[in-house]
Structure 1
Amino acid sequence: MAEHPKKVHRIGIIMNGVTGRMGTNQHLLRSIVPIIRQGGVKVSDSEFILPDPVLVGRNPARLQELAEKSGITAFTTDLDALLKDPNYTVYFDAQTTGHRAASIRKAVAAGKHIYCEKPVASDTATALELYRRCREAGVKHGVVQDKLWLPGIMKLKRLMQQNFFGRILSVKGEFGYWVFEGHSIPAQRPSWNYRKEDEGGIILDMLCHWRYVLDNVFGNVKAVSCLGATHIPERIDEQGRPYACTADDAAYATFELEGGIVAHFNSSWATRVRRDDLLTIQVDGTHGSAVAGLRECYVQHYGHTPKPVWNPDIEQPVKFFEGWAKVPEQEVYENAFKTQWELFLRHVAVDGPFPWDLREGAKGVQLAEKGLESWAKRCWINIDPL
């Protein structure tokens, strides 16, 4: 019997800013390149979606190097010319936050579908403006919300579906690690992260993440109390020059969620890790608790909960780490960025569901903005619906 011809949706993607750390590693090398190598996104046995990317940046030498590394041979420094090309229907933005809005406006005006990194913008008004532009232009749009597809968080969601926790009482997140200042050991993050004038700061960066994690997994955020800090006052930039750190490098935030759940997240680039992972989230409920890292998740049921007694005069008899069971691997987990890329490509090509649009991205910016306001005013701030 003759084999039916396969239907291929070829989607041209303008990938702007992929010479940066996140753009190179997560979006190009660990998402788009593997999707191409696997033969595209499978819609059915006879229908596939195949991305056709072109790399965009400001440095031709870096683009050439990235093209050789990735096998994606098309690259350019001329974004404006590329936006006129009808073969490219999707615009992806992984630039630094301050450059994002202007490029997205041009891409929307050119009729391109929009997919972009977070934060969508550095303020809520601009983020909502970009959302409205996309809606009025009739283009599809989405924002990266990668942590929803981390194996550890997906395991938490499965436990919730199974009613493992009973009534959830609280959520406690610990995120961060020591980012070297650069005086002797080179820094492992770019210097703009620590300059407020370049839209840096951990509050703008991480509260956008915590907004979509809390909203999508545990309950909508109703209010925030946030204290920021700039613990390291001086760092060394990429040219070896000292600079003043004008943005926050740590945030200590408490959130009130729907249903009476209290969440607290510590985020810091000035802390040393003595926990299971760079991010851990502990969920405590009436029936049980769980602690999830990026990939693993450990649980303790009510029936296995020890009964400690406070007595600092003797060695602690309870070995607290021993009372937890590891959640087994029950599913196959791919790179979180790749998973969301495949969903967005389905959304563009065959109208698959994709609720993580630019309005959702604006919610993250709103929480960051309210967190900064809370810090400045030293008070609780309500989070109104957008």
Structure 2
Amino acid sequence: MLIKGGLVLDPANALQGRYDLRLKAGKIAALGPELSAEPGEEVLDAQGLMVVPGFVDIHVHFRDPGLTHKETLASGSRAAAAGGFTSVVCMANTKPVMDEPELVRAFYKRAAREAVVHVYTVAGVTRGLAGEELTDFAALKAAGAAGFSDDGNPIPSARLMRQALEEAGRLGLPVIAHEGDLSLVADTIVNEGTAAARLGLGGMPAAAEDIQVARDVLLAGLTGGHVHIQHVSSARSVAIIRAAKVRGVPVTAEATPHHFTLTDEALLTWGADAKMNPPLRSAADVAAVRQGLADGTLDAIATDHAPHTPTEKAAGLAQAPSGIIGLETALGLTWTELVQAGVLTPAQAVAKLTYLPARIVGLAKGTLRPGADADITIFDPNATWEVDPARFYSQSRNTPFAGRRLTGQVRYTLVGGRLVYANGTVLEKEAFA
């Protein structure tokens, strides 16, 4: 295939301009201005569109195995393709938990058969995500684990977290940390503030996150192990991570579109579809998360794509599970809330969706240099569209963004040089197998 006439943006190589891309045998074969089509070469017209490395999301929940009434490898990967994501990293809180090498190997075998994008998985830090006994990190890495995380559950013990960072550090993989002191949770996981008070709920103060972020960056400094902080939501956590980076601590961090877009006031409109973990917080926290993205404190944008059924979300704020789906709205929210708002440049936004998250978990993704995998996202940065969950490829519909007008829309997604999404339609795997 020859991709012609697009504005190529490859932050990993500081490249921006009008270039054509030639794809052969699943790789980028050539990049240059005004390349001529070769005999038998399909030409994809990218005039007026932006051509970037395939997006990489290092924080998704595909609920497979064990919770496939919410999402599957097949449906989740199709939602990823529709959102422009060519590589995703699944969390370990499946049923059974990804805490044994044979489960990780089985996951990859099924992903190769069922998924239309590259799907990776982390393994649990602790057995059963129970926070008591470390898993066999070396065996899990050998099986293909991209890192270690008990996401959904904070690691309660500082001693255990130290051991995890030491062991993961020896293996060159990150410990991916969900932060929150659960002893500070009151009735439910919503932010302690005026919205919770109006709803008659006790909440979780931002300090619950801040305390564990501070603990874990101190432990990363002590051990030299790489800690990656997930879904940062509070201003003080941003400040703690910023100060740790200045000291040279091996810490990286991510922000989600919902945490850089919404405040806890969304609970009053959207109810349980705005219930997250960590919770949506104040306008000052949102501003701090945006500033953290702008100054590099927060390295990556990750969706924390968390599907739940309508019945589960209808249980009320106190009982409903936390989380929203995010793969199919991520680009639009990033472009609308960050790029158009002047928080990030286009290059900064693309970097946080491509090579920077890939680097955190050691994936050789996120670049358009010749010889790289031909994983490519092509989008219209000027297209406006309305979020309609009924049109999503995800099996679930839990989002507080329904009806919102966004700018920035994916047109094509290519994985290994093969078109897997085109103008609203995911191509079924048989079409390109």
TM-score (structure 1 length as normaliser): 0.31
Q: Who wins on radius of gyration, i.e. which is larger? A: 1
